[in-house]
Chains A and B, each alone.
Chain A
Amino acid sequence: MSYSRRNFIKGVIAGGAVATSAGYLFRGSGPLFGQTSAPGSVERLVTLNVNGQTRRVDVLKQETLAMTLRYKLGLTGTKLGCDRAECGACTVLVDDVPRYSCSVLTHTVRGGRIVTIEGLARANGALHPVQQAVVDEQGFQCAFCLPGFVMAAVGFLKTNATPTREQLAHGISGNLCRCQDYDKILTSLMRGAEYLRRSTT
């Protein structure tokens, strides 16, 4: 097996290693143990619906969805850029709505249908029309922002399947590209909208 950053991160996850001190993370759970009967109290072991699969996962109270996806479920396609809802790299769909997963507590979307970039392609490996368009148009340069842009576009196209270029630009305006590749990104996502319409008619 070749060593890559991605495999290394996944290995760390599989090993159960947590990079942060456990005492610090679990501060709240000690003295408050026994108060779980309070109305609205939250169990840490939850069931999430991610990419059509049911996943049981232990989620800290303060854990964001991006953390859960990347470091608990190994779905490292979702990127963490700013971690402050200011860049869009972490965009995923919750019930078809694009959200910044860095700024969503995992516990608030327990009942939601979560879709990440890994969940777009079909089981046989066929890419989602928007992904295929990005490949065909070579829309991205470094592509760190790609998963976020694609998820934002896929979410937007569910509300407007026939956008103008300006409307689509507005729809994906919550995503940043440090390479300043916006024109090509928009061209490839417009093609994605076209592929998507063709695939559903």
Chain B
Amino acid sequence: MAVIRDPMPAFELFQPTSVEDAQALLRRYGAGAWVLAGGLDSFDWLKDRIKRPEAVVDLSGIPELRGVRARGDGLEIGAMTTLTEVVRHGVVRERYALLLDAAEAAASPQIRNQGTLGGNVSQDTRCWYYRAGWPCYRAGGNICYADTPESINREHAILGADRCVAVNPSDTAPALIALDAQMVIRAANGGERVVAAEDYFVGPGKDITRMTVLQPGDLLTAIRLPGAWAGARFYFEKVRDRQVWDFALVSVASAMVVGAGGAIERMRLAVNGVAARPLRLQAVEDLVRGRPANEATAAVAANLAIAGAQPLRFNAYKVPLMRNLVKRAIRGVEATTWAS
């Protein structure tokens, strides 16, 4: 679509300094309210005039949503902490390098300087039919424009599609699932609930208009990393067309603990870019337990990972791509041929 360079249409702007004030504003404006974190997802919607909120609630002025703090034997990261702040944090670098690699792979330096961890996991899908404002299932209509014989669907889903074939674009999401992160949500009624990262994301079968369990008025306030997977053997790889800006075609994140005998004691593994939500591959995790982290195990596990894949017209390449990334996550690689 033509790119519009005029200023965005007007909206009322609020910059509350507490979560309570932010939620009061969300209540007041209801469906006309828009939550703004880093803004990199939001501004595309607003500039393209696809979404026309009445009031934008900017969370950047709420101190309790920012920063990385120790919590028990793990970490708690405020949802409004930027990806750069996550990447530079000493404990993240030392004990949670998986999250470091994933956050560092997102977008571009300037975007990481502004984009937040909470925003990265809560961002909307990038299916361009949907982003261009087509009235598809996800937008409340009754057709998927990406799943017709003529659709350009090279970047779309191979697993778990249900009417909608969009994929989740987040780089940090699979890493947080592999680390067994917990998402702290302040509900609209003021109560707090904690959801496992793998349950934070929803597919179209559950709610076709949302990417996460957040309901209107809910805010993600923090992400907790438990100590259980700190310092494990990590693997993250994101395959994309360009090494900057682009979202993943397929990405994989894993945490593995290998016993003294060389056998895999436990493993958590997640992929993204293949379904409407990042997928934890529990069947693969179960299969590899007790086996050596070698080529044979990787081959069997990778074949299991792609079981049931249903490619669309232009995205069949994602099946071997996902298989090979899962394989690499299990057996490791000498060195990748490019540096990002």
Contacts and interface: CB of A to CB of B under 8 A. Distances in A.
Q: Do A and B come from one complex?
A: yes
Interface of A: 20, 24-29, 32, 35, 38-42, 60-64, 67, 80, 82-86, 88, 91, 97-100, 103-105, 107-108, 152, 156, 166, 170-174
Interface in B98-134: 107-111, 113-114
A85 B109 contact: no
Contacts of A173: 108-109, 243-244
Given A25-B7, A105-B39, A152 B109 contact: yes
Given A40-B16, A103-B114, 9 more contacts: A28-B11, A61-B11, A61-B13, A62-B11, A85-B108, A86-B245, A104-B114, A107-B15, A170-B109
Interface in B151-188: none
B58 A84 contact: no
B58 A107 contact: yes
Given A85-B40, A173-B243, A100 B109 contact: no
B7 to A, nearest CB: 6
B334 interface: no
A83 B5 contact: yes
30 contacts: A24-B9, A24-B10, A28-B11, A38-B28, A39-B16, A40-B16, A40-B17, A42-B14, A60-B7, A60-B10, A62-B13, A64-B43, A83-B47, A84-B3, A85-B40, A85-B110, A85-B111, A97-B84, A98-B113, A99-B113, A100-B111, A103-B39, A103-B40, A104-B114, A105-B58, A108-B39, A171-B109, A174-B111, A174-B244, A174-B245
B207 interface: no
A27 B10 contact: yes
Contact of B339 (A27, A83, A166): A166
B12 A174 contact: no
B84 to A, nearest CB: 8
Interface in B1-27: 3, 5-18, 21-22, 24-25
B108 A88 contact: yes
A82 B9 CA distance: 18
A28 B33 CA distance: 13
B8 A88 contact: no
Contacts of B44: 84
Contact of B7 (A63, A97, A104): A63
B30 interface: no
Contact of A97 (B16, B40, B113): B113
B281 interface: no
Contact of A100 (B11, B17, B114, B339): B114
Given A83-B5, A83-B47, A25 B10 contact: yes
- Of all A-B residue pairs in the complex, the 9 with the closest CB atoms, nearest first, are A174-B108, A40-B16, A61-B13, A27-B10, A28-B10, A40-B14, A39-B21, A62-B8, A174-B110
B213 interface: no
A105 B13 contact: yes
B299 interface: no
Interface in B42-84: 43-44, 46-47, 54, 56-58, 60-61, 84
A181 to B, nearest CB: 17
Contact of B25 (A39, A80, A99): A39
A38 B14 CA distance: 8
A20 B7 contact: yes
Nearest to B84: A97
Nearest to A21: B6
Contact of A84 (B11, B47, B57, B60): B47
Contacts of B11: 28, 61-62
Contacts of A26: 10
Contacts of A42: 13-15
Nearest to A39: B21
A32 B60 CA distance: 23
